[in-house]
Structure 1
Amino acid sequence: MPLSLALVRAHLNLDDDRDADLLIHYCSVAEAWVQAYTGLPFDAGNALMAQAALLMVAHQYEAREAVTFASAYQLPFGVHDLLSPLKTRVTGYQPEPEAA
């Protein structure tokens, strides 16, 4: 389930219908990034995924260039923290199965 445009507009505090195509594009990019990062299908019903995607959409909408005033592009603070619990770890650690 993708992010709703109404939720994105509310997050960005936009009251009009401007930039709909651009916002939809940014949503697609953010959803694809979340999916690639976590290895899980994007689900807007998952609060962690939705919030991370909203942060990314807002960042892309507000800072439309990769580099501004010589500062390199970085993900908005909190995106990695929000998605970390969902990410599949590649450490070799296997938790013991819970006893039934």
Structure 2
Amino acid sequence: MTGQNKRISKEEREKLIFESLSEEAKQKVMKFRASIKLYFKTQKHAAEVLGCTQPNVSRYCSGRIGVPHRIAKKLQEHTKKKVLITDIFFDRKA
């Protein structure tokens, strides 16, 4: 296959997305991932509590999209400020 026709796996794509982030954003994504694993049974459970969809929780965990401020605020409230908004909120577009 030529380079243009080669498809990459989902895992490879997620890795490339994560590697494209700034160091600060990587730290925030890792903190969000760890928080989801620690405070929720599943991503679906996290989505229900945080008021979003499971696919979006997955996107936040990969860094594909940044955690919106309202989601970061809900996580802060759910964890009784053990996870702060500033620990996980970043603008993916910046």
Answer whether TM exceeds 0.5 for this pair.
no
TM-score bracket, shorter-length normalisation: 0.3 to 0.5
TM-score, normalized by length of structure 2? Answer: 0.33
Structure exhibiting the larger radius of gyration computed from Cα positions: 1
More helix by share: 2
TM-score, normalized by length of structure 1? Answer: 0.31
